[in-house]
Amino acid sequence: MNWVRKKSLLAIEAIYHKGQPCNNFEVLWNALHSSYNSAKNRAINTRFLDSINQCDNIERPPFTDQEFLDVIDKCSNASSLGPDHVTWRHLKLLISDKTCLSKIINITNVYIIVGYWPDQFKKLTLVVIPKPNKALYNTPKAFRPIVLLNILGKLIEKVISYRLQFHLSANGFLDPNQLKGIRQQSTIDAGMYLMHLICTGWAKECYTSIIAFNIAQFFPLLNHEFLSLCLTKASLNTNVLKFFRDYYSNRSTTYTWNNFTSQKFATSVEVGQGSALSPILSAIYLAPIIKTFKKRIKNLKEKIHIDILSFVDNGLLIS
């Protein structure tokens, strides 16, 4: 069964990793895994989290029919297939039956209550695709790993993601200047806020300077221990915290390059780029860092006007 919208990668002489060519697939798979999991066993400093106030706890009501219907209605039937080769069209047909939908909702609620994520959904397939407009495609960092997931797991992740965004916006854990990947935050919001700062500067006869930055290899390098601490600071329900601890345990990754597939690799870092939970978990990861940045700027002896706009793995520093 051919996958929809199949596209072969560019012809490349050789991928180089640490100065050595990857001249066979075993070396290539190890190079990819090493590059996309380079934060493994890396020490992290979490002491600054002590200065972040604990947010108000919000009760977690059970998931509803409407949440699932709203999510699946927006899913494209042309999306790439996951390891199970089931399409959104199939799943939409399945949950059009109220009994099937009710069973899926009950299963999802049980996952949260007992803090469990099935092993079938922890087996990731990473398709390696070239990043656009690169001068050379001879290193793993010139490619982007996109995760393909089983369709039912994707649906459940989308519903959990929407609920998390609502809760964390309601209790104030997310910073208002975190824009990308957050519902009801758009490019228009970013443009209007930026124009407001510029016009305010004009009124004070000041110039506005902007520095754009990008966090290289952001999604593959997220530390699960630090993310767990951020989730705790967000005052999520105890069952939800337990769920995410299981969600990131015992995960495995298989890499795909054209028609070739690697063996399974154990994965202990990263937030899969392509997962529905990736944007909100990345925003949770960054929220304490942005809060600390703003607090330290505010406490400087010499008062300077600096603000930040975050678009997950890139952003703007505005002065």
Whether pLDDT at 135 is above 90: no
Q: How confident is the model at residue 242 (pLDDT cuts 50, 70, 90)?
A: very high
**Which residue did the predictor score with more confidence, 52 or 7?**
52
Q: What is the pLDDT of residues 167-219, one digit of tens each?
A: 888 888 888 888 877 777 777 888 888 899 899 889 988 888 999 998 877 87
Q: What is the pLDDT of residues 58-67, one digit of tens each?
A: 778 899 999 9
Q: What is the pTM of this model?
A: 0.84
Q: What is the pLDDT of residue 40?
A: 72
Q: What is the pLDDT of residue 1?
A: 41
Residue with token string 């909702």: 105
Reduced 3-state DSSP string for 225-287:
HHHHHHHHHCCCCHHHHHHHHHHCCCEEEEEEECCEECCCEEECECCCECECCHHHHHHHHHH
Strands 123-130 and 251-257: parallel
